[in-house]
Amino acid sequence: MSDRYQGFVSTPIGKLLVKNLGLPSPVRLERWSDGSPLVDGLVVLGGDGRLAETLPTTLDGLGVPSATTLEEGARAKALVLDATGITDTAGLVALQQFFTPLLRRLESCPRVVVIGTPPEQRTGSERVAQRALEGFTRSLGKEIGRGGTVQLVYVAPAADGAIASTLAFLLSPKSAYVSGQVVRIGAHGAVTTDEVADWTRPLAGKVALVTGASRGIGEEIARVLHRDGASVVGLDVPQAASELQTLMAELDGDHLVLDITAKDAPQRIAHHLREHHGGVDVVVHNAGITRDKRLANMTDDRWSSVIAVNLTAPELITRELLNAGVLNSGGRVIGVSSTSGIAGNVGQTNYATSKAGVIGLVDSLRDELADGITVNAVAPGFIITKMTAAVPFATREVGQRLNAMAQGGLPVDVAEAVAWFASPGSGAVNGNVVRVCGQMMLGA
């Protein structure tokens, strides 16, 4: 499942062709490994907004070194600008004044984060200026190159003390394939973030249910949640029972074999979690299928099966876990949507409908939930799996190159984003849909 094109452009002849023909030249992305520092280098801070004084302390708590200046000849691994103090359009010049002198002094695979205030919580010129930050960060994400990422984090004033888990994710290699995203913290519901005693195992003592866990993205989600300390309950269909049991044995987890579209599936899942684990803390709706066909040739079965698995089942399961009191206080519900659900895709009207519906589920639940429960979703783009490896070569190459990083992502990239949402420290991160797509160039 390796990227053969990326391997080719690193050869002498590949480098020559890239230089002379202007071909994409994807950088090998840095990804986090157990035991590594969150940020391997210096974070340079700027801005004079309301978080400027607390940001150094927040980063210090994560073991991340920071400074407000960069010594001559030194390089930065990340840049963070507190733009919450920008109250009118004239103040937007602070973006250029901070970033322009530093962009040529970044290490490879750098991270850039701009912090603002949700525009909907501001009025007049300040609202205009804060909304303008989105165009800046998305454009810089397509300029930065060298495997770099750029994000905008809107922080509601009530959530100023709840940004550590988000910075830990966005400044680290865990966010390798996430760029050009807008994250809202504290914009929906009460802020009930818990303290994280051990950032290397934030999910210790938590129970996590992962559907479609036997292979691909689901397998990697199970592995990463286990790495972060969770007891994982993997769920999959009977046809995948052998693979599921092997994986859960490896992770010292539990397994549940059933069809999530069965009429009694929500009740059976709730009963199992209550009886065997006393409840559940993290629910990841990863199970999904495709039955691609242009709408003119779509059969009832192709349409209905995709909607049932990808959308109806997650909704019914979530509501049963909530109504039955099986989802514990401070619980996390995480859906797996898709960039197809945001931008659409030829031959995927059924799939795109179901994945847009997952976003609708987030929107529906985000203001309803109580007891510190949150709901968010990831929206993967082109992720290299055994399934995408079977896609015709030309289609696969286009899918991998049409993003700011000129490459496909890996299942672990989706899993790391899920783990960020799942963290007890992410209690103020609610109602978000974050694309894991390398910042697609077109459509989303």
Distance from first CA to last CA of the chain, Å, rounded?
25
Q: Tell me whether residue 351 is one of the annotated catalytic residues.
A: yes
Residue-wise DSSP of 74-124: --EEEEEEE-TT--SGGGGHHHHHHHTTTGGGEEEEEEEEEEE--GGG--H
CA distances from 125 to 119, 131, 344, 437 (A): 10, 10, 34, 32
Euclidean distance between CA atoms 376 and 94, whole angstroms: 32
Residue 146 φ/ψ region, left for φ over 0, alpha for ψ in the -120 to 50 degree band, beta for the rest: left
Euclidean distance between CA atoms 288 and 201, whole angstroms: 28
In this structure, which amino acid lies at residue 239? Q
Q: Distance (Å, rounded) from C-alpha 287 to C-alpha 336?
A: 8
Q: What angle do CA 178, 179, 183 make, to 5 degrees?
A: 85
Around 321, how many Cα atoms within 13 Å sit in the side-chain half-sphere? 29
| Cβ-based neighbours of 302, under 8 Å, separated by 6 or more | 291, 293, 350
Q: Which two tokens stand for residue 357?
A: 């519906």
Helix or strand holding residue 285 (H, E): strand 280-285
Tokens of 112: 């850039």
Strand partners, 282: 208, 332
Active-site residue (options: 5, 154, 177, 351): 351
- The token pair at 37 is 């520092």
Q: Which residues are catalytic?
A: 351
